[in-house]
Amino acid sequence: MPPDAPALKLIEIAEGKIRLRIPDLSYYGGERAEPAWAPVFYNPAMRVSRDLSVAIVEAYARLAGRGSIRVCEPLSATGVRGLRYAAEVAAVKEVVLNDRNPLAYKLASANAGLNGLGDRVSVHNREARALLAEFAEKRERFDVVDIDPFGTPAPFVEPALLALKHGGLLMVTATDLAPLFGVKPRSCLRKYFAKPVASEFSKEVGARILAAFIVREAAKLGLAARPVYTFLSRHSLRLALVVERSKSKAYRAVTRVGYVVYCPRCLYRSLEGEPPKEAKCPLCGGEVVVGGPLWVDDLWDREFAQAVLEAYRERGYMSADGLKVAKLIAVEAGKPPLYTTVASLAKLATLKEEPSPSKLVERLSSLARTASLTHFDPKGLRTDLQPRELARLLAAGL
Ligand SMILES: C[S@@+](CC[C@H](N)C(=O)[O-])C[C@H]1O[C@@H](n2cnc3c(N)ncnc32)[C@H](O)[C@@H]1O
Ligand SMILES: [Zn+2]
């Protein structure tokens, strides 16, 4: 039975298909209050991320053919994420919530009761890694584990992997974007053992560094992790990976961890299996920078990306912002890696005005070139051309 609602200053809101009691932010910090100031964390801006995550769990249930799914959300705060999975994805039959903050534990329990989900949702008040290890040890593993921490997910990845069933889905949030995107490279090296690259595509590099970290954490346990969906929504980067118990697949996965080579002068970029022997750019002879180790394979499974879009569309109540992301991703999945931006192309081609990214994509497609926009950056585009070639075409009036 859920304990009584805690002595907090609460307001009631609705998100997705659930009602939720959350701390009254205006009481805890006034108008400019940060969600982290409240005694239990709830960030309304992360609704888009939760909408997309609901669609991801639905897509997973369908594609994996799982009609009865157990989810664990070991860093659940108010419980909003896990409760939404229970209320909005028919295949989700059981959810385990947890938070080491006793106030969060009480609030999540009250929120489960408020939505009549008390019989399918259990709430724990433990350290997340200890809880995951205990479920793994008892062989009560999960179909889905969703790690949604403050900052880096790195400390939670191994116990989450161990608590997953064969073929399960691991979802991970990282909000430590400064390290992953190359603003704090020392912190990236410490947490992810990788060197980021400050460039116009640094967001994708961050996603690839996080993916490689998870793939390697999995491989050492004899598990093969494969990214099926990746998105960036405001300050939160999310990855969803299917994890199989297979040493041979785990080996193959680590062979897909490599390096990015980038020339800051002509913007040449390439993903490579090995670090380059020459530090010279093959196009302009300039000095290249090398980042990684990072994931050099797909960040999306195309079928999965389509299924997420469908699941999102079926839920008319979800945010328009999330739909926009799901649509962009359904198209960018399978397109060339390492996007460029119209800002850097305009600079390279010494154009006075930046071209419109969508018009440029249209032009390239009409010339039978592979091209798409990217959800990572409103000015970004993916093409199979190196920026120097594209800049030449632009200068010639493409
Ligand atoms: C970013 S919040 C979770 C937000 C929530 N998933 C959502 O969608 O609104 C992270 C939560 O993890 C909890 N936490 C942090 N470290 C923990 C640990 N080692 N074990 C259990 N809970 C922890 C914090 O108390 C906090 O409530
Ligand atoms: Zn170059």
The Cα–Cα gap between 349 and 149 comes to 42
* CB distance 240 to 170 below 8 Å: yes
Q: What are the pLDDT digits (tens) for 62-86?
A: 999 999 999 999 999 999 999 999 9
Confidence of residue 315 (pLDDT cuts 50, 70, 90): very high
Distances (CA, A) of 337 to 60, 269, 349: 24, 9, 22
Q: Structure pTM?
A: 0.96
Q: Does the Cβ of 3 fall within 6 Å of ligand 1?
A: no
* Nearest atom (ligand 1) to Cα of 77: 27
pLDDT of residue 1: 35
The tokens describing 302, both together, are: 């195309």
Ion ligand 2 neighbours, Cβ < 5 Å: 263, 265-266, 268, 281, 283-284, 286
pLDDT of residue 318: 98
Domain map (residue ranges) of the chain: 10-256, 339-398
Query: How many C-beta neighbours within 10 Å does residue 60 have?
Result: 27
Contacts of 60 (CB under 8 A, 6+ apart): 66, 144, 169, 228, 240, 242, 304
Domain 339-398, CATH: 3.30.56
Is omega for the bond preceding 293 within 30 degrees of 0, making it cis?
A: yes
The CATH class for the domain spanning 10-256 reads alpha beta
Using a pLDDT cut of 70, give the percent of the chain over it.
98
pLDDT of residue 304: 98
- Amino acid at residue number 185: P
Q: What are the pLDDT digits (tens) for 28-57?
A: 876 677 787 789 999 999 999 999 999 999
* Nearest atom (ligand 1) to Cα of 127: 20
The tokens describing 222, both together, are: 């004899």
The tokens describing 164, both together, are: 């997953």
Residues in a beta bridge with 40: none
Residues in a beta bridge with 295: 257
Q: Does the Cβ of 99 fall within 6 Å of ligand 1?
A: yes
pLDDT at 5 over 80: no
pLDDT of residue 38: 87
Strand order across the beta sheet in which 340-341 lies: 340-341, 377-383, 371-374
